[in-house]
């Protein structure tokens, strides 16, 4: 019979189970002493789950005892055993779970593994009824893992030189080397503030198997350990994502991280056309459209007001020479001439007024002159600022702008679903190196993308 794999051997938890005197019972089939799985549950022998890889449920779980054509649940045929969670997390890549049959205040904390018995837990870890038993938090010891070193938030020192480490080595898996930094200090403050509710916080590493399950993010791997019951919480600067929320609850954020778009330093565009375009920049395109519309309307009104008997005789000699024949071509030419004249008035910031023109035309020119006064004053006031401002060549100020230019954007793989959902047409490059921010930065340096979407 198999006793588990190397690095994650089966353990004997008979002593721990027998300590639950309030759950003591007698196994009906054999008469040997046993223990109840939860109060009111079925009775299993003290040796249940200990020392060897066996089909423990097949011989003890009433759900596995079926008659007739009833189907035996698949998990009844899965071998497992109790293991030492710390040893398995440090020395192996086996999947380990905390047993939820025992409350925190029971004094029994056991872990089991199917994979160390070459089996699978998929049939067992199905939906639960959602019932949550009350938990007594008095004098509890919290076990927390640290995903990785992040200076100055959390780190260890070299045991020999006492130098602060920012790259993880063998000391990361040595729980005798203490953690330091902002977050462990903050957790210690919370422990003191609890006034005895939290007795102690012990720190450990994330398990190796969680790193195999989530190779691109040590932080997601740390959350996986919480879901599997290997630790009670994880300490570090976590991004709260949909994937992680399905694994564990999160505290209220201490800080909020901003995601920045990092682009190559653009050069200044000093080209002739760029300098010419600055002349139009004080006004928006809509405002320029309004200005042109007023010039056109003023020119047409000038023709309309001039088309009077006196005006035809005194102001428009061309109409007098044609003996006042109203021809479409003549009016079109007059309209174009008048519009160009109004445009010239606007560009020269002044108007020309014929003393012999009628009152309507004088009122029109007065209003147009006032319009020129207001417009030119606003335009000149802003023009100097635009002429002296440098224009960055190829500048991009948003992810939408980068996508519009067809740029590839490097990002952390934890944001795969979020970014692809928000920008389905974006070209994103997600680091597979598993080195968090540094992997994203390496992809950028290697030329795999033209911009970075990163928070730091």
Answer whether 93's CB lies under 8 Å from 213's CB: no
Name the more confident of 31 and 134. Answer: 31
Residue 248 has pLDDT above 50, yes or no: yes
Q: What integer is the mean pLDDT of 257-272?
A: 72
Q: What integer is the mean pLDDT of 205-223?
A: 91
Residue 172 has pLDDT above 90, yes or no: yes
Instruction: Give the Cα-Cα-Cα angle 154, 160, 164 (nearest 5 degrees).
Output: 25
Give the per-residue pLDDT at 114: 92
Q: What pLDDT band is residue 311 in, cutting at 50, 70 and 90?
A: very low
Tell me how far apart the alpha carbons of residues 375 and 369 are, in angstroms, rounded to a whole number.
Answer: 10
Residue 292 has pLDDT above 60, yes or no: yes
Residue in 441, 442, 445 with CA at minimum distance from that of residue 453: 441
Residue 289 has pLDDT above 50, yes or no: yes
DSSP structure class, residue 154: B
Give how far Cα 82 sits from Cα of 110, 176, 298, 326, Å. Answer: 7, 24, 92, 107
Give the per-residue pLDDT at 147: 93
Q: What integer is the mean pLDDT of 261-271?
A: 70
Residue 388 has pLDDT above 80, yes or no: no
Give the per-residue pLDDT at 179: 94
Q: What integer is the mean pLDDT of 264-279?
A: 70
| 3-state SS string for 285-332 | HHHHHHHHHHHHHHHHHHHHHHCCHHHHHHCCHHHHHCCCCCCHHHHH
Give the per-residue pLDDT at 267: 58
Name the more confident of 274 and 172. Answer: 172
| Lowest-confidence region among 188-202, 240-254, 258-272, 436-450 | 258-272
Give the per-residue pLDDT at 132: 43
Structure token pair of residue 443: 């992809």
Tell me how far apart the alpha carbons of residues 66 and 89 are, in angstroms, rounded to a whole number.
Answer: 37
Digit-coded pLDDT (tens) for 312-344: 444 445 445 444 455 667 778 888 888 888 888
Digit-coded pLDDT (tens) for 16-43: 888 888 888 888 878 888 888 765 678 8
Instruction: Give the Cα-Cα-Cα angle 159, 164, 166 (nearest 5 degrees).
Output: 110
DSSP structure class, residue 231: -
Q: What integer is the mean pLDDT of 377-402?
A: 76
Name the more confident of 136 and 113. Answer: 113
pTM more than 0.85: no
């Amino acid at each position: 019979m198999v006793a588990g794999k190397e690095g994650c051997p089966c353990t004997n938890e008979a002593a721990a189970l027998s300590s639950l005197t309030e759950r003591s019972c007698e196994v009906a089939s054999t008469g040997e002493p046993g223990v109840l799985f939860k109060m009111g549950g079925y009775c299993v022998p003290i040796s249940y789950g200990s020392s060897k890889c066996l089909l423990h449920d097949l011989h003890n779980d009433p759900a596995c005892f079926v008659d007739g054509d009833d189907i035996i649940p698949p998990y009844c045929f899965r071998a497992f055993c109790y293991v030492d969670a710390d040893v398995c997390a440090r020395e192996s890549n086996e999947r380990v779970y905390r047993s939820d049959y025992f409350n925190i205040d029971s004094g029994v904390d056991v872990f089991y593994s199917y994979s160390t018995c070459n089996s699978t837990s998929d049939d067992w870890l199905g939906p639960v009824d959602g019932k949550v038993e009350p938990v007594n938090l008095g004098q509890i010891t919290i076990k927390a893992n640290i995903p990785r070193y992040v200076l100055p938030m959390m780190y260890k020192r070299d045991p020999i030189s006492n130098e602060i480490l920012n790259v993880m080595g063998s000391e990361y898996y040595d729980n005798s080397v203490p953690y330091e930094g902002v977050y462990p200090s903050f957790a210690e403050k919370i422990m003191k503030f609890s006034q005895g509710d939290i007795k102690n916080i012990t720190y450990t590493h994330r398990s190796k198997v969680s790193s195999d399950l989530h190779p691109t993010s040590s932080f997601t791997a740390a959350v996986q350990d919480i879901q599997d019951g290997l630790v009670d919480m994880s300490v570090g600067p976590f991004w709260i994502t949909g994937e992680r929320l399905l694994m564990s609850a999160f505290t209220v954020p201490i800080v909020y991280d901003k995601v920045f778009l990092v682009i190559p330093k653009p050069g200044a565009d000093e080209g002739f056309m760029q300098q010419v375009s600055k002349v139009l920049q004080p006004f928006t395109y809509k405002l320029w459209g309004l200005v042109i519309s007023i010039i056109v309307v003023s020119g047409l009104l000038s023709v309309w007001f001039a088309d009077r008997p006196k005006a035809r005789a005194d102001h428009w000699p061309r109409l007098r020479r044609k003996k006042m024949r109203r021809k479409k071509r003549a009016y079109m030419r007059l309209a174009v001439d008048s519009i160009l004249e109004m445009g010239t008035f606007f560009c020269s910031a002044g108007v020309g007024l014929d003393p012999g023109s009628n009152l309507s035309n004088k009122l029109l020119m007065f209003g147009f002159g006032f319009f020129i006064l207001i417009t030119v004053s606003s335009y000149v006031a802003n023009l100097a600022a635009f002429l002296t401002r440098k224009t960055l060549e190829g500048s991009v100020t948003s992810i939408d702008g980068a996508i519009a230019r067809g740029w590839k954007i490097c990002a952390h793989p934890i944001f795969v679903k979020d970014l692809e959902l928000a920008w389905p047409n974006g070209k994103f490059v997600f680091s597979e190196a598993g080195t968090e921010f540094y992997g994203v930065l390496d992809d950028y340096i290697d030329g795999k993308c033209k911009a970075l979407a990163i928070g730091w």
